Chain A
Amino acid sequence: MAQEVAAPLSIEEAAPPHIPASRRALRMARRHPLGVFGLLVIAVLVSAGFFAELMAPYDPLSPNRITKAFAELSAPVDAETTTFTVKDGADLGYGQTVGIESEEIIVLNIAGNTITVQRGAEQTEATSHDAGAALGSSTVDTLSRPSAKHPFGTDRLGRDVLSRTIFGARISLMIGMVAILFGVTVGSFLGVLSGYIGRLVDSVIQRSVDAFLAFPQIVLLLAIITVIGDEDSAVRIFLADNTPIPQGEFLGVPDFLNIFVISIGIGLAVAAGVARVVRGAVLSVKENVYIEAARAMGASDARIMLRHIFPNVAALIVILASITLPLAILAEAAISFLGVGVQPPVPSWGADMTGPNRELALSGTWWPVFFPGLALSLVVLGFNMLGDAFRDISDPRLRGALGAGSGRNL
């Protein structure tokens, strides 16, 4: 392809008077349209995650409860009486009796289109069309097709799928980033230690890494998260008692502790791979003469590792983190899909594709499953395309060689 042939020449051209950074960026963008596309997708996802309250038209957890930002824009739909919040952990199955409660209204049962509510002592039953009358509010549209009012439709509880998808971005990003931060930190610490000290430390760490890597990734993740996600697990109890990690709602995410524990689980799986790669890099870095010089000057092992070895593998660690982030997002979706990760009613792309939504999809109601999956695919696509572009820029010979494909494990 033309641009790759031209690449070596452009280095010589670029040496004389400097081209403004903005022009260079523009040129780079023109050469890698797919990379720009990836960047855009990621930018949209990140802003959706950060500003979910502002972007989502409805509340992701309860039907027809309009979020603050939109309550001001659209006419308030009888805000006082519509507002009911889903009680902790109560996700509805068909015809299941659950408590969705607010101060004045208790929804006793939602079965198909029929809603039974209790206000004070009296009980009322209504279909979705006149549920408004029962609730003293607007109607709860359950399973409505994508329309102008609900661009992605609504799910079986009347929750807006678009809003859930937007809030899902926040959960995905949160889990992905915490997992990578934890995994890369632990992994590089173990990798540097293993590579630099060698001998017994190296053997112990590497054999443990071997054991971790011998599992199929998804099985390992399922096992780790079942174990540490358990209510009585030592990890969970430790985090709850000894750290400032909030147990209830945090940053608009209900049950934050659970989300955090899942991230740690994914992070552990990430750490094993990172430790292996970083060790390899450390082995070659430590043969450099400047390490010997530092040692000759009487530097301690800790100092050499921190000041001389670590900075030289830092670039590699950053690259590893960026390659692994989409994998962590995918991993969260996969385990939540299998019912082990994020639990309903917390909006998660993976969790929204399973359970009752999946049953519904099998009978033709595709939208509650389709849109979260589309968002997930787009994000991973964005990261893969951006990764490809970076690889092209840094080494034109590698044109789409390794990377996204070979590192993928799900």
Chain B
Amino acid sequence: MRNYILRRLLILIPIMLGVSFLTFAMFRMIPGDAAVLRCQLGCTPEILEDLRHEMRLDRPWYQQYGDWVWAIVRHGDLGHSLTESRLPVTTELDRRLPITGELLVMTLFLALLLGIPPGVISAIRPGTPLDWLSRVGSVLWLSIPAFWLGILVIAFGVSWFDWTPPQFGRGYVPFLDDPWVNLQQFFFPSLVLALAIGAAIMRLTRSSLLEVLGNDYIRTAWSKGLRERTVVMRHALKNALIPVLTIVGLQVGALIGGAVIIESVFNLNGIGKYVLEAILRRDFFVVQSLVLLFAVAFVTANLVVDILYGWLDPRIRYS
């Protein structure tokens, strides 16, 4: 088991190098770099050269990339922004990680809540109005883009209830400082993001549970005279959840993508907004570092999923 986890974590190294280098290479391909973007009014070739030198963009590409990697290995220093502020990436992360973290945890929680119970009900009562309702609902939620729904929530919140998400007036309020304001800040963005993911989970729970319910051991459980509750919860659900878990793990990528959009809609200053701004400003050290972080998050989430498999199905061995 320990070897398995270690091996999986080792795979991270080439992935991290790969994605960060790909990002670096992409942004180096275009002639207009961050210096050109900063050097707007009254820009002369001399000023541009000075800026490049100051931003250390005048050195060969392999030195730039190599230095960046070496700083991470030696001090865990992710470099700094190429904008005038020159803010270190790690400082920004300290400020922004809690925001995105809370958003994603709440989204995942809501998505499971919206996905698994309706999926189970739908599967044990197929063909009933309840089943039909949750199936149609799931297709609907899957099709509505989160950014549109987000704008509508804010727009109708304002015009019908005279309510604006608190983050528009003031910044992020941590949960411990004021739980009520904090929940107001995060509930709707999380819900909007969770609907599509919850719908995907619901569909998968339904079909997977339907398949498991057709197995011989379920018939045996019924014929023993067990209550429905026991049959579904103890015997069927646990097995049905394995494919669901896989999808939840894979959805981590979609979750991060969703955060980029929803943070911009709901004005949350998290990682998603940070990466969007950095891309627009061609601040490639920031983009590289964030992409690195995403890759780590994705691989770790899927590792956790793989470990959970063993808990759901003890027959699964790690090799």
Q: Contact check, A210 vs B151: say whether CB atoms are below 8 A apart.
A: no
Are A400 and B206 also in contact (CB < 8 A) when A211-B22, A361-B155 are?
Answer: yes
B251 to chain A, nearest CB (A): 9
Q: Mark B133-145, 1 if CB is under 8 A from A, else 0.
A: 0011011101111
Are A373 and B203 also in contact (CB < 8 A) when A211-B22, A214-B295 are?
Answer: no
Residues facing B in A358-383 (CB within 8 A) are: 358, 361-364, 366, 369-370, 373, 376-378, 380-381
Residues facing A in B118-175 (CB within 8 A) are: 126-127, 135-136, 138-140, 142-148, 151-152, 154-156, 158-159, 164
Q: Contact check, B18 vs A361: say whether CB atoms are below 8 A apart.
A: no
Q: Contact check, B148 vs A353: say whether CB atoms are below 8 A apart.
A: yes
Q: Contact check, A362 vs B158: say whether CB atoms are below 8 A apart.
A: yes
B206 to chain A, nearest CB (A): 7
Residues facing B in A5-59 (CB within 8 A) are: 34
Are A339 and B145 also in contact (CB < 8 A) when A215-B291, A215-B294, A219-B256 are?
Answer: no
Q: Contact check, B139 vs A388: say whether CB atoms are below 8 A apart.
A: yes
The contact of A381 among B139, B253, B257, by CB within 8 Å, is: B139
B102 to chain A, nearest CB (A): 18
**A152 CB within 8 Å of chain B:** no
**B239 CB within 8 Å of chain A:** no
**A306 CB within 8 Å of chain B:** no
A351 to chain B, nearest CB (A): 12
Q: Contact check, A410 vs B204: say whether CB atoms are below 8 A apart.
A: no
Residues facing B in A226-272 (CB within 8 A) are: 226-227, 230-234
**A184 CB within 8 Å of chain B:** no
The contact of A232 among B32, B204, B206, B276, by CB within 8 Å, is: B32
Give chain B residues whose Cβ lies under 8 Å from the Cβ of A338: 260-261, 264, 276
Give chain A residues whose Cβ lies under 8 Å from the Cβ of B257: 216-219, 409-410
- Chain B interface, >50% SS class: helix
Taken together as a complex, chains A and B put the C-alpha atoms of A272 and B161 apart, in Å, by 45
**A340 CB within 8 Å of chain B:** yes
Shortest Cβ distance from B252 into A: residue: A216
Taken together as a complex, chains A and B put the C-alpha atoms of A366 and B295 apart, in Å, by 38
Identify the interface centre among A212, A234, A408: most chain B CB within 10 Å of its CB: A408
Give chain B residues whose Cβ lies under 8 Å from the Cβ of A369: 148, 151-152, 155
Are A405 and B158 also in contact (CB < 8 A) when A215-B291, A353-B148, A384-B139 are?
Answer: no
Give chain A residues whose Cβ lies under 8 Å from the Cβ of B258: 218, 410
B146 to chain A, nearest CB (A): 8
- Stretch of A136-144, A196-204, A329-337 contacting B (4+ beta carbons < 8 Å): A329-337
Q: How many residues of A contact B (CB 8 A)?
A: 60
How many chain B residues sit at the interface, stated as a range, is 35 or more
Q: Contact check, A405 vs B200: say whether CB atoms are below 8 A apart.
A: yes
**B80 CB within 8 Å of chain A:** no
A40 to chain B, nearest CB (A): 15
Give chain B residues whose Cβ lies under 8 Å from the Cβ of A378: 143
Taken together as a complex, chains A and B put the C-alpha atoms of A2 and B128 apart, in Å, by 12
Give chain A residues whose Cβ lies under 8 Å from the Cβ of B275: 219, 222
**A110 CB within 8 Å of chain B:** no
Q: Contact check, B294 vs A339: say whether CB atoms are below 8 A apart.
A: no
Are A216 and B32 also in contact (CB < 8 A) when A1-B126, A385-B139, A400-B135 are?
Answer: no
Q: Contact check, B31 vs A232: say whether CB atoms are below 8 A apart.
A: yes
The contact of A366 among B31, B136, B159, B196, by CB within 8 Å, is: B159
Give chain B residues whose Cβ lies under 8 Å from the Cβ of A212: 22
Taken together as a complex, chains A and B put the C-alpha atoms of A182 and B141 apart, in Å, by 29
Give chain B residues whose Cβ lies under 8 Å from the Cβ of A370: 152
Q: Contact check, B256 vs A362: say whether CB atoms are below 8 A apart.
A: no
B260 to chain A, nearest CB (A): 5
Give chain A residues whose Cβ lies under 8 Å from the Cβ of B192: none
Give chain B residues whose Cβ lies under 8 Å from the Cβ of A288: none
B279 to chain A, nearest CB (A): 5
Are A218 and B156 also in contact (CB < 8 A) when A210-B18, A380-B145, A401-B207 are?
Answer: no
**B233 CB within 8 Å of chain A:** no
The 9 closest A-B pairs by CB, nearest first: A405-B200, A373-B148, A401-B207, A218-B257, A381-B143, A211-B18, A380-B143, A216-B256, A364-B159
